[in-house]
Amino acid sequence: MELEKRNAIVTGGSIGIGAAIAVEFAKQGANVAINYRKHDAEAKEVVKKMESFGRKGLAIKADVANFNDAQAMVHNTVQEFGRLDILVNNAGITRDSVVWKMTEQMWDEVIMTNLKGYFNYIHAAADHFKNQRYGKIVNITSINGLRGKFGQSNYSASKGGIIAMTKAVARELGKFNVNVNAVAPGMTETEMAADLPREWLDRALAETVLGRLASTDDIAHVVVFLASDKSRHITGEVINVSGGQYM
């Protein structure tokens, strides 16, 4: 198993890509703590799935945009598991609108959750990784942080910021044997995607060269690789997992 005896945090781990990552981590031998904000039943189900593989699962209700919540979650995870080896920043939201109709609140909510939320957890985990001279950080970004997206100036800015932060933090933590990478999915079959207009999904599908949308497992498998020691000489990279939707 790729992650035997490792301990991980996955933010936004109750549904979608985050849930798939958490369950795949458990399959690969890791104990996993997830955070969630409102999906209580779904979070409990993810923990049950993780524990079915004989691993420890932990669900913590926490707002990623809250600095103190992040500090507390990392502390509680280390207390429960003994140490922290892997951090996957995944939690994110959308508040779509063309820029001239976007409200300040729509902008702030997306930046606070998608970008500051990642900073909050990296800040909380960094000392642990430095002190033990080992750590893996995987940040889930988006191809829209690479190319921009009509009606998503806030989301694209947050995801582009994650890419820049990934590269900066990789430089800062590299000497402590900490790998920091990002995964940029294209359109993926998640609960969030299910709420989109059908024509948006069809347009995204037409953009791919493989002729299908990603499953959440397609993303999870790449994250497992980046969280494992098989990727020990990869850092500061952005792995595009979009089926050729963006090249």
Active-site positions read 155
Start-to-end CA distance of the chain, whole Å, equals 32
Beta bridge partners of 139: 89, 182
Which residues touch 5 (CB under 8 Å, ≥6 apart)? 29
Beta-carbon contacts of 165 under 8 Å, excluding residues fewer than 6 positions away, are 115, 118, 119, 122, 139
Say if CB 170 and CB 194 are below 8 A apart. Answer: no
* 3-class DSSP state of 203: helix
Task: Give 230's DSSP letter.
Answer: G
Measured between alpha carbons, how far is 173 from 161 in angstroms, rounded to an integer? 18
